[in-house]
Amino acid sequence: EGKTALITGGNSGIGRATALLMAREGANLALVGRNRQRLDQVVEEVQALGVQAQGFEADIAQPQQIEQAIAQAAARFGRIHIAHLNAGIYLRCPAAELTMEQIRAIMDNNFYGTLNALYPLLAHMKAQGGGSIVATLSMDGKKGVPPDGAYVASKFALNGFFQVLRQELRGSSIHIGA
């Protein structure tokens, strides 16, 4: 209650559900997404629950866009206590039929896009003295399931990275979860 949470992919699916849950718990929300219309709809839904909320249109695969959205959210709310790095794309396609362009698009969004958001948030939370960052993973990040080759690869990479980051930041004022 009274904390500010930033959610990437906050305009649909798991991100929207998380936004509604956090709003019911009294959190103010900075919602990041690529679709302005859906973003505005979710902002209205959570504001109806009595919290402050603002949408920031950005694509996490574009580092400058997500950095700007995080800076704007920090300026608007003062602090970002919680970040839920949730934005991602899913593609069902047998691994043998994937193109390199498809694989790069999944990795650019799900892995590198998450890191594009992670690093400015880490800097913000270090400067403010702490916070919590949680990434949405998947069981696909633990066991490969056909026909999800590119998605599985992106979630395996993210799982490994966040395991290392959590260990490195253990005992600090920044909590890492996945």
- The catalytic residues are 151
| Cβ-contact 30, 73 below 8 angstroms | yes
Please tell me whether residue 123 adopts helix, strand or coil conformation: helix
Question: What distance in Å separates the CA atoms of residue 153 and residue 130, rounded to the nearest whole number?
Answer: 30
Could you give the CA distance from residue 158 to residue 153 in angstroms, rounded to a whole number?
A: 9
CA 111, CA 115: separation in Å to the nearest integer?
A: 6
Rounded CA-CA distance 157/20 in Å is 29
How far apart CA 147 and CA 160 sit, in angstroms, is: 21
33, amino acid identity: G
